[in-house]
Structure 1
Amino acid sequence: MYDPTRLAALVAVSEAGSITRAAQRLGFTVPALSQQLAKLEREAGAALLVRHHRGARLTGAGEVLVAAARRVLDEMDRARHELARVAGLSGGRLRVGTFTTAGMHLLPPALTAFRRAHPEVELAVAGYEPPLGIAAVADGAVDVALTHAYDPADPVPVPASVVQEPVLVEELVLVTAPGHALTAGTAGTARLPLGDLAGQPLISMAPTHPPRQGVESALARAGATPSVLVETPGYALVCALVSAGLGVAVVPEMVARTSATPVGVRPLAPGNLRRTISLVHRSDETNPAVDSFRALVRGTFGRAGG
């Protein structure tokens, strides 16, 4: 029995023409998607893709499996729609809050799956930089929200009426300009002790911003020297400044792997700087749309975490 997630990954690669573009479409990291495809090839007992410098193309076996995969996925979509009708999700509205990174890279595949399963439910999306999404759920402004928290950091109070459900934990990694000595060649594959950032010019993610304050303090203790202070935290801007050679930065792995500007990437030691992405919803309400969305998010984010 083939895993539907891996079948969907193969279909995405066949449509996008490359593993990188398919990963962006699905909200995977490239290594995570490659891992899923490798598992599918082992299940199939045949090579399904041929990688080349411009992307990837299907082998003969891959074409056979993609045709079957499309039929399987279509049947699953029809089944989800029928179950939604039985469950009463033939109308209504789902209001989702999200922060920027999740909204760009993780929310789209979850909402695509939700729309396929529940095409008659109206979708509304609003932006809430953490931890504002928690208050938005508590106040009833949205039905469900994606938020995040960093480690180390002081815990964010959560109202008793709200449930916070972790769905993805990712490490923070070092990003540098391409070809930088800290990330070039074989050095880029080994974990860099945090103390080795001493004296490095740091693109600082607003040390007074509560979610990042603990991380900024850890970097300061390691001796990293603030070079540019980004007053309003924005990872796209940070990566652009890093790419231009204005300093190095420490960002979530998902941000590093999906940066629009070229950057070098290296894991840090001991790997205890992390970001946890969570789903928050009200505990005192029953909402079938929220329950369905939560299940889809758990599956999507679990795959992205690889």
Structure 2
Amino acid sequence: MLNSEAQDLYDIRRLALLVEVVEQGSITAAADTMMYTPSAVSQQLRKLEQEVGQPLLNRRSRGVVPTEAGQVLAGHARKIVGQIRAAQADLDQIAGLRRGSLTVGTFPTLAGSFLPIVIRAFKKRYPAIGLSVRSARFDELVWDLESGVTGLCLLWDYPWNRFHDDAIRVTEVFQESTVILVAKGHPLAGRDEVSMSELRKESWIVRAEAHPVVEVLQRSAHDAGFEPSIGFLANDYQEAQAMVSVGMGVAMVPKTAVALQHPDVRVLSLGSAAPLRRVLLAQRQDKVYAPAEVAFHTTLLEIARDRAADYL
């Protein structure tokens, strides 16, 4: 019998990563193809080397080349990965993933940051599935899900107002930190971290129309003993960043809101005091999930596990 370490050698994901790195000659190129970060690929390959008990790759300034052991293992891995992919293709045929459509609900900050990564991976795996996306406010997302307009959707909540609906099943995707935006010329711009108490005299730029981030700011400011002074109401986060960049004030935003960061804006951490919001994947409790929904659910959570640290 194989011991636990020998059994780990046959982790298909690690074998697939090894094959891709050997064929590409680069960890970065393989990471892009396999929808991982380079650090995640390196970590998995180090585990594989530990399990094998010998080095598999020689790392050079312009890429990597396999050792003799790496060549041997990659040769076997190609056959194994090929067989697994063939089996998955057969199962996908049976499950109906060669046809069909799926509509996903989301909210703007995720649509501009995390979700496109998921969509790219999903379309690559299941090119025959027609995928559409609806971006909306929270109440509209819940309504679309409950009425069957969307098969699943992404929601969010905060510790003081957890989402609960007996008709909806939710899965935590990742937790997201709240950050502070200041102009490049702001006295605090050289810092990595700041406290709310240091911002009591600032003018604040917030989202208009009673956006949820306003409550996050008010709670954080009240905890620090002050009432925030609102200087500008922005229609979206890009407008908020633009106003911050020219010194109209500072802003508090969820981290995904600065996926496209303005060059004249600096992002500061609130450390352990930063409010965290949960990003949730929601589906109806009372339905049989279509194969396309199951596939999207799986793809999304796989990518979230790899990228969760980026949002804290």
Give the TM-score, by structure 2 length.
0.73
Name 2:303's counterpart in structure 1. Answer: 300
The answer to whether residue 233 in structure 2 is matched with residue 225 in structure 1 is no
Cα 1:227–1:124 shift into 2, 3 Å: same
- Distance in 1 of aligned mates of 2:83 and 2:238: 38
The answer to whether residue 247 in structure 2 is matched with residue 245 in structure 1 is yes
Aligned to 1:175, which of 175, 178, 181? Answer: 181
Aligned CA-pair RMSD: 3.7
Report deviation, 1:4: 4.0
- Distance in 1 of aligned mates of 2:194 and 2:12: 36
- Distance in 1 of aligned mates of 2:134 and 2:259: 25
The answer to whether residue 298 in structure 2 is matched with residue 290 in structure 1 is no
Give every structure 1 segment of 4 or more consecutive aligned residues whose post-TM-superposition deviation is greater than 6 Å: 8-13, 68-76
Name 2:3's counterpart in structure 1. Answer: none
Gaps of 5+ in 1: 51-56
Name 2:134's counterpart in structure 1. Answer: 126
Deviation per CA, 1:95-142: give whole Å up to 9, x if none: 111112222222223223322333322212221232421211001111
Q: Which moved more, 1:220-229 or 1:90-99?
A: 220-229
Number of equivalenced pairs:
278
Cα 1:81–1:240 shift into 2, 3 Å: farther
Instruction: Check the 8 A contact 1:94/1:290 in 2, yes or no.
Output: yes
Instruction: Check the 8 A contact 2:113/2:259 in 1, yes or no.
Output: no
Q: Which moved more, 1:82-91 or 1:289-298?
A: 82-91
Aligned to 1:117, which of 102, 125, 129? Answer: 125
- Distance in 2 of aligned mates of 1:200 and 1:269: 19
- Distance in 2 of aligned mates of 1:49 and 1:198: 50
- Computing the radius of gyration from Cα coordinates, the structure with the larger value is 2
- Distance in 1 of aligned mates of 2:82 and 2:262: 32
Cα 1:77–1:214 shift into 2, 3 Å: farther
- Distance in 1 of aligned mates of 2:60 and 2:117: 23
Q: Which moved more, 1:255-264 or 1:295-304?
A: 255-264
Name 2:52's counterpart in structure 1. Answer: none
Instruction: Check the 8 A contact 1:143/1:290 in 2, yes or no.
Output: yes
Name 2:63's counterpart in structure 1. Answer: 58
- Distance in 1 of aligned mates of 2:261 and 2:86: 35
Aligned to 2:270, which of 251, 255, 268? Answer: 268
- Distance in 1 of aligned mates of 2:66 and 2:185: 39
Which residue identity does 1:208 align to in structure 2? A
Aligned to 2:146, which of 138, 145, 159? Answer: 138
Give the TM-score, by structure 1 length.
0.74
